[in-house]
Amino acid sequence: MSELAISIFTGTLIAATPLLLAALGELVVEKSGVLNLGIEGMMLIGAAAGFLVAVQGGGLLPAFAVAALAGAVAAALFGVLTLLFLTNQYAAGLALAIFGSGVSATLGVGFGSQPIEALAPLNLGPLADLPLLGPLLFRFDIMVYLGLALVPVTWWWLNRSRAGLVLRVVGEAPGNAHALGYNVLRIRFLAILWGGALAGLAGGYLSLAYTAIWVENMTAGRGWIALSLVVFATWRPFRVLAGAVLFGGVTILQLHGQILGLPVPSEALSAAPYVATILVLVVISQNRARMALDVPLSLGKPFRARD
Amino acid sequence: MSYRIEPRRNASALANLLAPVIAVALTLLFGGALFAVLGYPPIETLTAFFIRPVSSMYGFTELLVKAVPLIIIAAGLSVGFRANVWNIGAEGQLTMGAIAATGVGLFAPEALYPMLLPLMFVAGLVGGAAWAGIAALLRTKLNTNEILVTLMLTYIAGLFLSFLVRGPWRDPNGYNFPQTALLPYEGMLEPLDPMYRVTASVVFALIALVALWVVTARSFAGYRLSVGGAAPRAARYAGFSEKGAIWVGLLTGGAAAGIAGFYEAAGPLGQLSAVISPGYGFAAIIVAFVGRLSAPGILLGGLFLALTYVGGESVQMSHGIPSPITRVFQGLLLFLLLASEFFVSYRLVRTGRAAA
C-alpha cells in the first residue's frame, strides 16, 4: 500500500475524531430528549480554553481536562435555561453558539500566533513498528483511540445498561419516567453536561492536536456538521462512526486535492464537507418512516413535572 | 418554603413587554461584572461601551448604519419565525445578495447606468431569496431540516465570496488585495448628508418595519402563516398550506437579507472583500427574538444590537478590550431574554409545607 493511501487513511481517522467526539456526546443528549444546537459554541470554548492552558505551559493533559470542563460549564448554562426556565431549545442552542464564538474569541485574542507542541502519537512500542499495520493503526494520538472506544461504550451504555435504559425512557416518555420516580431534569442535566464535556474535548482536539494553534472560529462549522451526523446516524453510535469517517474522508481528500493542485478552485474543494452535509441530510431525510421510528419522542420538548 | 412552577392561563402582557427590558438591564449588569472580572473599571467601561459611542451626531449615525441591516434582516426573518420556519442562514443570504448586487453593478453595460441602483436592488433581493429558496425546496420536496441546510449554505456562500474576490472578480488594479474594484458611481448610494455614512437604506428599513406590521398584525395572510407554523394540522384542515408557509417564511427572510446585502455593498462598502459582514445575519436572529417578532420591538432591538457593535469598537479603541466582546454581549442578551421570557408563560407559586 502506498504512502499516500496510508496517509489518507490515517488523516481520515484524525479528521473524524473531533466530529466523532462531539456527535457521540450530542447523541446522548438527544437520547435524553434535549436538542442542543450549541455544539459549535461549546467546541470553540473548549478549543480556546484548552489552548490557553497549553500555551501558558500548563501541559497537554490539564489542557484537555480544562477543554472538557469549559465545554461542560457552557453546556450547564444551556441546561439551566432549557430545564429550569423551560426555554425554547432551538433559541437557547443558537444563543450558546453565538455566545461561545464571542467568549472564545475574547479569550483567545493575542494567543493565536503562539505555537504549542501538538499532542504526540501514543507510544505503542513494537506495535507501531509492525509492517503496514503499524503506520495504519498504531501511530495515532490517544484521543483518536478514545473517540473510537467511545463508540461501543456509548452503544453498550445506551442499550445494555440500566442507566442507559432510564436515559432513553426520559427521552421517549419523560412523564412515565417521572411517575416511576426518576428525576427527569437531573438526568437531562447530566446528559447535557456530558455532551458539553465531549464537545469541549472535541474543540480541544482541534486546537491542541489537529492544528496546534488557536484561530478565531477555528471549528469552521464542525459543530453543526456533528449535529447533522446525529440525524444522519438516526441516533445510533456505530452509524455516527460511519458518518464521522465519511466526513473525515471528505475533509482529507479535499485537502489532498488542494495540495495536488487539482484544476478546481481551492474554495470549491473547501466547500466539499458542507455540500456533503447537505447531500447526506437530503438522502437520510427521504426515509420518513425510519426517521419517525428512531427520533427520541420527546426531543426538543421541555418537561415540567405536574405534581 | 418552596415554590412551584405554574403555567399562566393567559400569557402575561406585562411580562411580555418587560422581558426584553429586564434582559437588557441584566445584560448591562452582567456586562459590568464581566468588565470588572477582566480588570476594567465597570462603570467607566460600560459608559465607554453603551453611551459614549452614541453621544455625538457622528456616533449616532454610525449606530444607524449598523442598525439598518439588522432591522431589515430581522423584519424578514420574523415572518419565517412566526411560521416556525428556522432560517438561521441569513448571513449567507446577505452574502449572496451582496454578490448578486455587486455583480450587476460591476458588469452591467453603461446603457443601464441610469437604472443601475434599482437593478442592483432587485439582484440583491433575488440573490438572497434564491439562496434561501434552496433550503425551502429541500425542506418541502425532500423533508430536509432547514436549520442545518441554511447554515451549511452560509459556509458555502462565504467560500464563494472568497473565491470571487481572490479569483475572477479581483480588482486588477487592487495591488493583489482580495477585493473587487469599486462600484461605478451610478451603483453607489449617496449618503443623505455628506458628513455621515447614512444612506436611503434607513428609509427602506422603516418601510420593512411597516410592511412587517401590516402583514403580521393586520392581514389574513399573516394569520394564515402563523397558523401554518404553530399548528400544521389545524392549518391543513382549514385549507392553509404548511408548504406555503415554509416557502413564504424562507423566501421573505432570504429576500430581506439579500436586500441588506445590496445596501451594504452599495452603501458603506462600495465593493466586495473577503469579509463583508460582522455577523449581521446571526445578530439579526437575536434582534427578531428580542423584538418579539414585532415591528416596534425589532426597531428597538436593532438599535440595541447595533449599539453592541459600535460599543465593541469603542472599548477596543479606548480600553484595548478585544472587539469579539460584542458577540459575548449579544449571546448574553439572548440568554437573559430567553430566561426572562419564562415569566411570560409561567409564574412561581409559593407552596407552604402544610399545603403539600
Q: Which three cell numbers stand for residue B108?
A: 452591467
| Residue A56 neighbours by CB under 8 Å, 6+ apart | none
Rounded to 5 degrees, φ, ψ at B7 are: -70, 140
**Which chain B residues in 166-205 lie under 8 Å from chain A, judged by CB atoms?**
166-167
- How many other C-beta atoms can be found within 10 angstroms of the C-beta atom of residue B301? 28
CA dihedral B108, B111, B112, B114 (to 10 degrees): 130
B298-333 pLDDT, tens per residue?
999 999 999 999 999 898 888 888 888 888 988 898
Nearest to B90 by CA among B286, B349, B342: B286
Q: Which three cell numbers stand for residue A143?
A: 484521543
A190-211 pLDDT, tens per residue?
999 999 999 999 999 999 999 8
Distance from the first to the final alpha carbon of chain B:
11
Q: What domain count does chain B have?
A: 1
The arithmetic mean of pLDDT across residues A186-193, rounded, is 97
B7, β-bridge pairs? B346
Put simply, the answer to whether A278 touches B332 (Cβ < 8 Å) is no
- C-alpha B66/C-alpha B72 separation (Å) is 11
What's the CA angle centered on B321, arms B316 and B327, to 5 degrees?
90
B346, β-bridge pairs? B7
Q: Quick check: B223 contacting A, CB < 8 Å?
A: no
* B316 and B35 Cβ atoms separated by less than 8 Å: no
Place of cell 425589532: B298
A12-71 pLDDT, tens per residue?
999 999 999 999 999 999 999 999 999 999 999 999 999 999 999 889 999 999 999 999
CA dihedral B263, B267, B269, B270 (to 10 degrees): 110
Q: How does DSSP assign B256-295, residue by residue? A: HHHHHHHHHIIIIISS-BS---SSHHHHHHHHHHHTTTSH
Q: How does DSSP assign B288-316, residue by residue? A: HHHTTTSHHHHHHHHHHHHHHHHHHHHHH
Cα diameter, chain A: 66
Q: Which three cell numbers stand for residue A261?
A: 493542485
Confidence band of A129 (pLDDT split at 50, 70, 90): confident
- Counting beta carbons within 10 angstroms of the beta carbon of residue B157, is it exposed (0 to 12), middle (13 to 18) or buried (19 or more)? buried
* A228 and A246 Cβ atoms separated by less than 8 Å: no
- C-alpha A243/C-alpha A24 separation (Å) is 11
CA A181 to chain centre: 31
Q: What is the CATH number of the domain that holds B143?
A: 1.10.3470
Place of cell 415554509: B246
* A27 and A154 Cβ atoms separated by less than 8 Å: yes
- How many other C-beta atoms can be found within 10 angstroms of the C-beta atom of residue B302? 31
As a three-state string, the secondary structure of A210-221 is HCCCCCCCCCCC
More confident residue, B305 or A129: B305
B152 vs A94, A265, A274: nearest CB: A274
List the domain boundaries for chain A. Answer: 3-294
CB contacts, 8 Å: B324 with chain A: 101-102, 105-106, 109, 216
Q: Which three cell numbers stand for residue A188?
A: 437531562
Regions of chain B where pLDDT drops below 70: 1, 227-240, 352-356
What's the CA angle centered on A127, arms A125 and A130, to 5 degrees?
125
Q: Quick check: B207 contacting A, CB < 8 Å?
A: no
- C-alpha A67/C-alpha A65 separation (Å) is 5
* Residue B158 resides in a domain: yes
Place of cell 503499524: A134
Element of type H or E holding B29: helix B13-37
* A20 and A249 Cβ atoms separated by less than 8 Å: no
* A19 and A246 Cβ atoms separated by less than 8 Å: no
Put simply, the answer to whether B148 touches A91 (Cβ < 8 Å) is no
Nearest to A50 by CA among A132, A91, A127, A111: A111
> Helix, strand, coil shares of chain B as percentages rounded to 5?
75, 5, 25
CA A277 to chain centre: 15
Q: Which three cell numbers stand for residue A206?
A: 482541534
- Percentage of residues of chain A with pLDDT beyond 90: 62
- C-alpha B168/C-alpha B163 separation (Å) is 8
Distance from the first to the final alpha carbon of chain A:
65
Which domain covers residue B43, as residue numbers? 2-351
CA B225 to chain centre: 20
Put simply, the answer to whether B328 touches A99 (Cβ < 8 Å) is yes
A60-101 pLDDT, tens per residue?
999 999 999 999 999 999 999 999 988 888 889 989 999 999
Nearest Cα residue in chain B from A92: B335
Instruction: Give the per-residue pLDDT at A44.
Output: 97
**Which chain B residues in 276-335 lie under 8 Å from chain A, judged by CB atoms?**
279, 282-283, 285-286, 289, 322, 324-332, 334-335
Q: Which three cell numbers stand for residue A73?
A: 460549564
Instruction: Give the per-residue pLDDT at B230.
Output: 65
Q: State the smallest CA–CA distance between residue A130 and chain B in angstroms.
A: 41
A248-278 pLDDT, tens per residue?
999 898 888 888 877 888 889 889 999 999 9
* Residue B296 resides in a domain: yes
- C-alpha A11/C-alpha A293 separation (Å) is 35
- C-alpha B205/C-alpha B65 separation (Å) is 11
Put simply, the answer to whether B163 touches A268 (Cβ < 8 Å) is yes
Helix (H, G, I), strand (E, B) or coil at A14: helix
Average pLDDT along chain A: 91
Nearest to B252 by CA among B311, B282, B288, B212: B212
Q: Quick check: B342 contacting A, CB < 8 Å?
A: yes
Nearest Cα residue in chain A from B143: A285
What is residue B115's DSSP assignment? G
Half-sphere exposure of A109 (CA within 13 A, CB side): 13
Q: What class has domain A3-294?
A: mainly alpha
Alpha helices in A161-236 (DSSP H): 162-172, 174-179, 184-205, 222-232
Cα diameter, chain B: 85
* Residue B356 resides in a domain: no
Instruction: Give the per-residue pLDDT at A198.
Output: 98
CA dihedral A229, A232, A235, A241 (to 10 degrees): -60
Half-sphere exposure of B87 (CA within 13 A, CB side): 41
B109-137 pLDDT, tens per residue?
999 999 999 999 999 999 999 999 999 99
- C-alpha A182/C-alpha A257 separation (Å) is 52
State the count of interchain CB pairs (< 8 A) between A and B. Answer: 135
As a three-state string, the secondary structure of B193-247 is CCCCCCCCHHHHHHHHHHHHHHHHHHCHHHHHHHHHHHCHHHHHHCCCCHHHHHH
The arithmetic mean of pLDDT across residues A178-184, rounded, is 93
